[in-house]
Structure 1
């Protein structure tokens, strides 16, 4: 080999090594683990992952299905850094020492959450003394049940509570097991109950009792250490909504597959959900969440879910990442 060729080969090799060393740094994605449930309203997060939206925006996302009742434990342990859950749950977590900051509103139940009861029960007042299945204290179903009872002059002490997650609660209610008089569940499991009118009927839902608002948030540390990732998570959600608008059946197919539904079945499940776009987010965090928290926090205190209301409820959300 000539000296010129030898030098040329060394230059090429050095360039290749340099490229190999720099490529991973250039393409590095911020890892983030997100805790959710199978709730239909959280599906845009699944869409953002499966459609490559998160990856395109520089995120290496892992989605973990964790029951709401134990999701805060996963945050506290560091197993996840972010989560989707209901607004009042952020109050509960923060009141109990698990810090979390909401970044954006995801959805609002418009009849997608409900209390189903046996056909012999004719009103919410008739639930007094009855056996009702719902998730445990600190969860959305438990809160929704407490909220509906409160609005009808009762409390959780006036019923017999059986702890069952939304899917098992719906299945047990339809199967007639557990001596249940009523159950609290949500989509897609609410559709199962509604398809079996002989088992019971819808007694109250989140359309008549607007108390189900879902938001996405992360630990303050993650947000402080990864502001670009927090912004990317927010924008990825809005891009997922854009994809739903652009090709809804394709999007429904991807989201439905995650909960073993066809695109058509998922379309039906999401019909009673309102996903929040950027404009709706700005409205929600400019008055609506404050009004809701003013009622929710005292109810959580009254039901013993929290021992004290956080000093500043407005500190539980950060709207700076909503701006384009």
Structure 2
């Protein structure tokens, strides 16, 4: 009788063990869109250190050449979460897309000189006034660098309407300067350093140092519908990015952080070693979004009232 019970117990345990994988919840798949800047470092770290997998998220990181195309990719479900700049995000909302912020990327800092105005060698551009009548490439019309550079021009008494801005992806900046297609570009490292090292251009202004501290440079956005249907995944994504941000803030992890960045934006070792990394800001506040709303209203970029309280996933 004891043997029979033992056999039944063993069979029952085996049956339970076989049933467990069938009941295990499948990982939520997320395609995340990023551009070639270090502001995505906390996402890169979360992917490489296993913070997404720990939260049962299957996250595929997809490179997007132009930041301004990310909202359309979210709308078409090509991406579940993507990293537009705050201005691109707010313009999309203003245009009728129902997007929300899940988490955040990098933050502005007066210590960061990793982006600025890079003028073509021989152009003579040195000041904001010198930009009048010039053709300047920006990596996304209405994106972070475009909006903040226009604010810099305004603060220096220059009407940004007198500057001819054209859209140009980061990897094209050096070639456009060498070919004379543009007079300057608003660029960022590692592309900025490559341009100056090659002699194709020079930094006319580290204009970014005028920006207020602690505002988002990148927001991680999703369709509201997706966030409402996948609240655990949205929360898990934010928590993973927070853990990535905490990892970044430990000096002993610097080499691993840089290795993660290098993997996803393909930096050579000599560039990777000295590139500046924006401080991380995984949680986006209403105050941070309100700063961008104010800046964009000054530049007449928004047509409708924006209620920032409705845009941040809690």
Query: For 1:111, which of 103, 110, 113 is the aligned residue?
Result: 113
Query: For 2:256, which of 250, 257, 276 is the aligned residue?
Result: 250
Once the two structures are superposed, what CA deviation does each residue of 1:254-276 show, in whole Å capped at 9, x if it has no partner? Answer: 221222225663342224x2222
2:310 corresponds to which residue?
315
2:86 corresponds to which residue?
87
Moved more, 59-68 or 291-300: 291-300
Query: Secondary structure of the equivalent of 1:132?
Result: strand
1:59 Cα offset (Å): 0.8
1:243 Cα offset (Å): 2.6
Native 8 Å contact 2:39 2:217 kept in 1? no
Counterpart CA distance in 2 for 1:48 and 1:56 is 10
1:152 corresponds to which residue?
156
1:46 matches 2:52 = no
Q: Normalised by the size of structure 1, how large is the TM-score? A: 0.81
Native 8 Å contact 1:249 1:263 kept in 2? no
Native 8 Å contact 1:106 1:276 kept in 2? yes
Query: Secondary structure of the equivalent of 2:59?
Result: strand
Counterpart CA distance in 1 for 2:219 and 2:89 is 9
Query: Secondary structure of the equivalent of 1:85?
Result: coil
1:270 matches 2:304 = no
1:193 corresponds to which residue?
195
Native 8 Å contact 1:194 1:202 kept in 2? no
1:163 matches 2:167 = yes
1:121 corresponds to which residue?
125
Q: Mark the runs of 5 or more structure 2 residues left unpaired by the alignment.
A: none
The count of corresponding residues between Structure 1 and Structure 2 is 302
1:181 corresponds to which residue?
183
1:159 Cα offset (Å): 1.8
1:55 Cα offset (Å): 0.2
Counterpart CA distance in 2 for 1:251 and 1:290 is 30
1:102 corresponds to which residue?
101
Native 8 Å contact 1:44 1:255 kept in 2? no
Once the two structures are superposed, what CA deviation does each residue of 1:15-70 show, in whole Å capped at 9, x if it has no partner? Answer: 54553443143252121121111111112212211221100111111111122121
Q: 1:165 to 1:45 in 2, by over 3 A?
A: same
1:116 Cα offset (Å): 1.1
Native 8 Å contact 2:115 2:192 kept in 1? yes
Q: 1:158 to 1:212 in 2, by over 3 A?
A: farther
Q: Normalised by the size of structure 2, how large is the TM-score? A: 0.84
